[in-house]
Structure 1
Amino acid sequence: MKNFGMNRRTSICSLIAIAAGGLFPTVGRAAGDALPPVRAYRNPGCGCCEKWAGLMKEAGFAITMEDDNDLAGRKEKLGVPAELSGCHTALIAGYVIEGHVPPKDILRLLAEKPDALGLAVPGMPVGSPGMEAAEEADAYDVIQFARNGSQRVFARYT
C-alpha cells in the first residue's frame, strides 16, 4: 500500500507538470532553441510600442524597435490591410505582426506555421499588451490575414 501511494503521488505530480507545461512559452520548442528575432517599427517616440516590446522580451523574444517616419508606407509595402492597421509593425520568421498582438498568439503562430501573411490587432484596444489600464479592457480580436486578402479570427479577448 505504501508504494502504491508513492507511485500514485509521483504519477499525479508528473501529470500536473505535463499539463502545466502548456502554460509556458517554451511549448513547441526544444529545450535551448531560441525564438527567432523580432524587428519592429513604430512612429517616432511611441511609448506603448516600447511597453509591447518589453512584454515580447519577457516572453523570450529578442526584439529591436526602430522609429520609422513612413510607417504607413512600410505597412502598405508589407501587405498589411488598411483596416487592420495598428500601432506598430513587426517582422518575425517571415510573418508580419501588426499592432498589440499578445506574445502567446505569436508563439502559437510560430508553432502552427499557418499559410498566412501575419497577425494583427487593429487600432489600439485598451487592455491589449502594451495598452493595459487599471480596470478597463476592450474586447478585441487577433486577426490572421493572408496575401490573398482573406482574414479570420485567430484569437478573441473579451
Structure 2
Amino acid sequence: MFSSRSLSHLAVALGVVALSPVAMATDSIIKVAKTPTCGCCSAWIEHLEANGFEVTVHDVSHRQLNAIKVDLDITPAQASCHTAMVDGYFIEGHVHAREIRSLLASQPEANGLTVPGMPVGSPGMEMGEHQDEYSTLLVEDDGSTRTYRQHATPPERSE
C-alpha cells in the first residue's frame, strides 16, 4: 500500500490529521482533493453521494493537487483531474462508485484505482448517451496497472 510518508503528506495537503496506514484502513469517508472550479469533479462527487458514499471535499490549487499525485506515486499516464482517498486506497479520476465498492470489499494488495484522463461517459463526464470506451485500472503496489473493468462503447442504435 502507501508509505506512512505518502499518507502523511496527503493528509497534510488535504488539511486533515495525519493518519497511520492502520488508522486509514478503517476510514470509510472518501476524501477528495480537487481544484475549486472543476465542474466534472463536482459531478463525480454527486455521483458518489447518490450512490451512498460520504464525501469530504478539499479544494486545492493545481500545484497542491499535483504534489498529492506525486506523493502517491500517481504517474502522469494514470492521472486525471481529481484525487481521492478511501480506506488506504487512492481513487484517481472518474471511477464508478460500484468499482470503489468492489475494491473496498475485495481489499486487494494495491495502491488504488484510476480512470486516466477524462473519458466521456464516465461518472461526472456524461454527455447524453455518448460514451467513450475506457478502462478502470488497478494500480498495483509496484506502480504497474492491470484492467479492473473495461467500459465498452454501447452498441449503435438503429433509427
Shorter chain as denominator, the TM-score bin is 0.7 to 0.9
Contact 2:109 2:141 in 1 (8 A): no
Distance in structure 2 (CA, Å) of the matches to 1:122 and 1:74: 16
Q: Structure 1: which 5+ runs fail to align?
A: 1-34
TM-superposed deviation, 1:84? 0.6
Q: Structure 2: which 5+ runs fail to align?
A: 1-26, 153-159
Distance in structure 2 (CA, Å) of the matches to 1:117 and 1:41: 17
The root-mean-square deviation of aligned C-alpha atoms, in Å, is 1.4
- Partner amino acid, structure 2, of 1:94: G
Question: 1:56 matched to which residue of 2?
Answer: 48
2:77 to 83, 96, 104: 83
1:117 counterpart SS class: strand
Contact 1:79 1:147 in 2 (8 A): no
Which 4+ runs in 1 deviate beyond 3 A?
none
Distance in structure 1 (CA, Å) of the matches to 2:73 and 2:36: 21
Contact 1:87 1:99 in 2 (8 A): yes
Distance in structure 2 (CA, Å) of the matches to 1:110 and 1:50: 22
TM-score, normalisation: structure 1: 0.76
1:125 counterpart SS class: coil
Distance in structure 2 (CA, Å) of the matches to 1:92 and 1:79: 16
Relative to structure 2, which stretch is displaced further, 118-127 or 78-87? 78-87
Asked which structure has the greater CA Rg, the reply is 1
Q: Say whether residues 1:108 and 2:106 are aligned partners.
A: no
Q: Deviations over 1:10-61 (max 9, x none)?
A: xxxxxxxxxxxxxxxxxxxxxxxxx810100112210111111011011111
Question: 1:122 matched to which residue of 2?
Answer: 116
2:110 counterpart SS class: coil
TM-superposed deviation, 1:119? 0.2
TM-superposed deviation, 1:73? 1.2
Q: Deviations over 1:65-114 (max 9, x none)?
A: 11111211110101112201011000000000000000000000000100
Relative to structure 2, which stretch is displaced further, 60-69 or 106-115? 60-69
Paired residue total: 125
1:140 to 130, 134, 139: 134
Relative to structure 2, which stretch is displaced further, 43-52 or 115-124? 43-52
Distance in structure 2 (CA, Å) of the matches to 1:139 and 1:53: 22
% identical aligned pairs: 40
TM-score, normalisation: structure 2: 0.75
TM-superposed deviation, 1:149? 1.7
